[in-house]
Structure 1
């Protein structure tokens, strides 16, 4: 991607868990850094799986990041942490409120390249706000797929497990976890407990 005008833009990298979203975000940040562009990276306060001030991938790659409160108007604090950086990265967008959409629009309107990653679907198989809105307003969207842990087909769903069993449909939407709590599943292998 290259800048052909003076305007900024929004890129969204989305897909199920274990599809390589954060890995792709980190790849884009490394390329921006190689190109001599100043980068600012942000992560939600709720996600400390790889350290409180780190964006980390399941492959072990990391990038230093500033922590932003994920609830309420905390995402607007992101602008206060910028020092002229033209590339702004936001990981785990699914943990932020709908206000993230407006923040990304403002940053892009200020001429910045905004790269956002996050899962677009809840463990129930429903749209995970604010990703659908970000995908609709972004200039670029890449939807990645993992491999279903049951059948080996392309996986687009997040299977939450509780004590090795599928989560109940009424369980909370946000539960931070990794391999101990989630698997990638295809549509046919994804299940929920209802009883």
Structure 2
């Protein structure tokens, strides 16, 4: 039995990824520049890519324009609901005293407004973000630190992810992983990763694994 569940945030707890992709291209198109291709975005999803970041900055033309684009994105995410599978799992963990954490490649300051809006801060015991580690996913450090702070062995943690980069990070940290995909990640190749399961509903997760 698992003693903790550690969730990715973007795309896993709320479906921010398609929103960010669309917001980036909305701002780029407003400047009559070539939009980012979906395959470029998918290649770095769940991690960071200096090459892609530089390309977006170049297309937007300035740091100020980049800041405005992200502000638009973060404001838009405040309307996004928690994904049903996550809500059910969080409720189950609360009822059964299973510890919970978040391990995200984003900066914590960028996700905390939504964590608080959804009242997840009342139940999540540990949040690890980009500022806490030297390398983000697919490096396992975020998950290793989250498990340590939860005081739970990695092998007794179940990770919930939506990307190949995130799944690899959790696996390399020594955790079992269930992947719940979405519009951006549903066609990524997870076959090369030894994940526990993929795209199953919360009730099946609870009955089979918790």
One fold, TM greater than 0.5? no
Q: Name the one with the larger helix percent.
A: 2
Question: TM-score, with normalisation over the residues of structure 2?
Answer: 0.37
Q: Name the one with the larger strand percent.
A: 1
